[in-house]
Amino acid sequence: MVNNKEIRSQTNVFAKILGVVIFLMGSVLAIGGAYLLALGGSPYYVVGGTGLTIAGYYLFRGKMLGVIVYAAVFVGTLFWSFAEADGSVWALLPRLFGLALLMAVAVLVVPVLERAMFGWKTAFGIVSGLLLAGVATGLWYGGAARQESMLVSLPAAGAMDADPSPLTSGADWPAYGGSYAARRASPLTQITPDNVDQLERAWVFHTGDMPQGDPADSKYGAETTPLKVGDSLYLCTATNILISLHAGSGKEQWRYDPKVSQDYIPYTAACRGVAYYQSANQASQPGNQTPACAARIIEGTLDGRLVAVDAKTGRPCADFGRNGEVDITIGMGTVEPGMVSMTSAPTIIQGVIVTGHQVKDGVTIDAPSGVLQGFDAVTGEHLWAWDMNRPDLDGRPTDGEFSRGTPNMWTTASGDEALGLVYMPMGNSAGDYLSAGRSEAEDRYSTALIALDVNTGKPAWHFRTVNIDVWDYDLGSQATLIDFPATDGAGTIPALILPSKQGDMYVLDRRTGEPLTEVFEQPAPGGGVEPEERAPTQPFSAYHTLAKTPLTERDMWGMSPIDQMLCRIQFRRAAYDGMYTAPTSDRHWIQYPGYNGGSDWGGIAVDTARGVAVANYNDMPNYNRLVLREVADEILAEQEAGSHDALAPQAGAPYAIDVNAGWRMPGTGLLCKEPPYGGIRAFDLESGKTLWDRPFGTARRNGPFGIPSMLPFEIGTPNNGGPIVTASGLVFIAASTDNLIKAIDLRTGATIWKDTLPAGGQATPMTYEHDGRQYVVIMAGGHHFMQTPIGDALVAYALPEE
């Protein structure tokens, strides 16, 4: 039996250990805090660190003064933390959690200290009180973190806008965005806010397309959104295997493998979707026979091919190109594997497949061309090409090649069948972070929406969202086509909504590109490595925006006061003048928002009957630095080139680029900016007024060192993939890193149903009706870049059958 003397002796040793821990922590904070103060930062860390150092010294010597000093530091930290947190639940954690635990331990050692102020009974009472206060505070804040309901008065539902697409959503989901208007909206009403909690899995289909070797080391991200036409679903896997399923049972009907080599995987093996096309003059023949490929499925592949197969059988369409394939890289000159890929669904307007393609970022400024091309949807014939540096070129060049390094369109286009216009969201020139070598045309069309005439391939108009983009703010979202109220009250104007990575939403006349809501130019920071190249102003949307306020030092976060202080030091050392801070090489610069958005390829969902748009978004900075060529070349000799999470060479440029996406701390992997890192917002289309806005994504799969916290609170996580909205007032979305698919009440913003997916849900869902039953389908394929589990499951939900 252990006697009191032994307990006292052991506790005394523990007090010494505690003293050493607090002394070391205080020393780090004091030294780092002094440096931070010299950089113009908060004085808290040097003051608090000095106090902790003194407390640790006296605790080691067994003096009660150590606990008194520690308690004084802790009380001061309480006041400072609540003042800085400004009501944010998550901002308090790194400031208080660790210090509160040490406070409780310090109280427990009081009885063995010299001139102890109380004994064991009082010590345990105080600790019990502290624990109860902590639990109560946690439950209270946890409730606040869970609180999502923000009941709003939605605009009254009217008639849905007429859809200019020949293929529209309803019982079917015949195009990537529901239709080529890209509204991601369905008129179906069987699943409602009142019965959505009864949703169950109707079926699960596994594609069988999984990475070779360890999935954790793969570059897979199966982002597909299936189509539904008639009784069939059509989808592509991560490596472009085409599959047809029965819409009611999920049973495989056919599959076609175009045999894409693993060598052609760029950043990610991904296929977001396919296109369905049925030619009117091929629909039937005498005797009611349907010819082969009267209806066809068309996809773009990772190795730069257009592939067309019969929608009924999956066999290649013999009348399309050569054996059902067309090579889009003809005329591009040298194309290394992985440099030219099609990861997004094709868009077909007036029988013309209009293609863009992904060009692998950051590898070389002599990258393949971003040329836009048109192909006949039946024959695969090359109809036209638009090379911005060779605007008079109609077809493929015979005197060389398409201009290299020009801006490309890697995402999904939308289109207006009657106007014959396809809306192409453009990216940036090769060498995203430097502009001195660009042509006038490249500056004009970089990060712009271009309306192309499908008959000629020539621009009808363009709208630029960044003046001389050196921030990789390429347009990732489809433009969404709507009818917008005219200012004089006389009817509506054919319009579109263009989301941007900066968070702005532009409402444009889709006939002319003229803004229908206010757009203004605001002075932008200059300087950087190319001061003469920086534009003096940048465009902003006066409303319809997701944009957040500029970062400040107190927005820095971490697991503990130490790494929060380190993030503050990084903040103070970096160049940061707000949005559009110019790229620098002598020090890091902060890009906020980072290149993942705002809005990215998931796009937005628009309920045109209610006049409400829903947008999920990212809210993270990047921590960047341009690296001089000679220094970069030494580093690159030991690194695989052209990765988003490594030094990108930008060969041929005077600098490589080092991008810390999300601004993560080494070791813990936590982000330097405090949560939320992602949100979801609903806003009124006409006024731009926010109806509700909240963090999106729980903390259950996130934590330090990659260890899931399993906390169910809405911290707001990074997200990729978009929402859909139904006429019953539901928003369905996965996208976040918590592996959940959720139904959100459009009226309140509250999550009213959710299910855990078998892998990450980095895809946009879709909904359809079959035999009187409404289904919601999501691809749970995961994503290496989002650090979610890789999978191959297509999951369908429906209400229980009666």
Residues designated catalytic: 472
3-class SS at 137? helix
Q: Which two tokens stand for residue 204?
A: 């699960």
| DSSP secondary structure code for residue 59 in this structure | H
Task: List 533's β-bridge partners, or say none.
Answer: none
Alpha helices in 109-184 (DSSP H): 120-146
Tokens of 541: 């949307």
The amino acid at 245 = L
What are phi and psi for residue 609, nearest 5 degrees?
-70, -35
Helix (H, G, I), strand (E, B) or coil at 28: helix
Q: Which amino acid is at 50?
A: T
C-alpha span between 751 and 757 (Å, rounded): 16
- Report whether 653 contacts 633 (CB < 8 A): no
Give dist(CA 643, CA 646) in Å, integer. 5
**3-state class (DSSP) for residue 146:** helix
C-beta of residue 233 within 8 angstroms of C-beta of residue 297:
no
**Per-residue exposure over 263-276, b if at least 16 CB sit within 10 Å of its own CB, e if not:** ebbbbbbbbbbbbb
The tokens of 458 are what?
């020539």
In terms of Cα–Cα distance, which of 536, 491, 539, 537 is closest to 515?
A: 539
For the chain, give the number of residues. Answer: 802
Cis ω before 676 (30° cut-off from 0): yes
Let me know: does 218 contact 790? Beta carbons within 8 Å.
yes
Helix (H, G, I), strand (E, B) or coil at 596: coil
Rounded Cα distance, 476 and 597, in Å: 9
